[in-house]
A and B are shown apart, each in its own frame.
Chain A
Amino acid sequence: MKRLLLFIPLLVVVILGVVLFAGIGKDPTALESALIGKSVPEFSLPELQNPDRTLDPSVFRGKVSLLNVWGTWCPSCREEHDDLVWLAEDKGIRIVGLNYKDDRDLALQWLERLGDPYEVTIFDPEGSLGFDLGVYGAPETYVIDGQGTVRYRHVGVVNEKVWREHLEPVVQRYREGN
């Protein structure tokens, strides 16, 4: 019995090791969205290209979409842009853009220059929809199902790896659900 007690420190070290090891490589800045499983918040905002057209949550009806939050002031958005174009053109993914706290002219120039992967772009200069979505740093990319329910959020750059490992499985799952 006494001898067994000698193993307690070893046990403690092993448990601590397992717990700490599980934390390695996790990104502490990536938070799960509070909106998972909830509908996209109500909004009524103009389209970027066409200020007279007002968009609301019905833009998400019918098909699984990615909602990509971006701005021309955001360097990481530039980094992921080519991959978004690739997703839209080669993979046929429907991407809705949310131009967040940005300038309309700069945003239009950006899309002109780099290509426009968005089926439709919501223009949100005050960041009101961004705030309701809980956006805390662009770029952020949400998976929204055909009923307009938020299913997943990715904070940070989208690239091929992120698509394959995180976004594609969610998109597939909700696409089959339809």
Chain B
Amino acid sequence: MRPAALIMGFLLAFSAMAATPDIYNFDSRAEEIRFQNLTSELRCPKCQNQNIADSNAPISRDMREAVYRMMKGGADNEEIIGALESRFGEFIRYKPKVNERTIWLWATPAIVVLIGLLVVIGIVLRSRASAAGARPLSEDEQRRAEQILSARDNDA
């Protein structure tokens, strides 16, 4: 009884700590999903490793509300993200746009894969070249090799 009550207490304490969801009314399920997608794509500028859907920082609540208001006003996703970006900066995008400042961010994985590919190709070509360069056995050597092999067979 006692441990159960203790566990319940802990659970309640932690559930109170989670972000309290504000109540937003949507006309359709699709709109609600759109809202959830949008708010989980936007990064909270205050608590930097959370999206604004998960964060209960006051600024995230304001941003959620702005998203809701703009959605109700008929704005499309790019307009909403653009409006917030013009205030809070590119930081709020989890996926930064490709431009001269972020190009290395986007290009590095491709470059690393390319380097890896070149290394693999180099290794394969080199081992092929050394295999092709090996001298075939002369007739004498061939005969000796057969003798050795058949002797071993007889032993067995």
Contact = CB atoms under 8 A, between A and B. Distances in A.
Interface of A: 28-29, 31-35, 101, 127, 131-137
Contact of A28 (B48, B59, B86, B89): B48
Given A34-B85, A136-B46, A137-B46, A131 B62 contact: yes
Contacts of B45: 31, 134, 136
A37 to B, nearest CB: 12
A131 B92 CA distance: 14
Interface in B44-72: 45-46, 48, 58-59, 62, 66
A136 B59 contact: yes
Nearest to B65: A131
B87 interface: yes
B145 to A, nearest CB: 34
B88 interface: yes
Contacts of A28: 48
B87 A134 contact: yes
Contacts of B41: none
Interface of B: 45-46, 48, 58-59, 62, 66, 85-91
21 contacts: A31-B45, A31-B89, A31-B91, A32-B89, A34-B85, A34-B86, A34-B90, A35-B87, A131-B62, A131-B66, A131-B87, A132-B87, A134-B45, A134-B87, A134-B88, A136-B45, A136-B46, A136-B59, A136-B88, A137-B46, A137-B59
B35 to A, nearest CB: 18
Contacts of A136: 45-46, 59, 88
Contact of A34 (B46, B48, B62, B87): B87
Given A33-B89, A134-B88, A136-B88, 19 more contacts: A28-B48, A29-B48, A31-B45, A31-B89, A31-B91, A34-B85, A34-B86, A34-B87, A34-B90, A35-B87, A101-B58, A127-B62, A133-B87, A134-B45, A134-B87, A134-B89, A135-B59, A136-B59, A137-B59
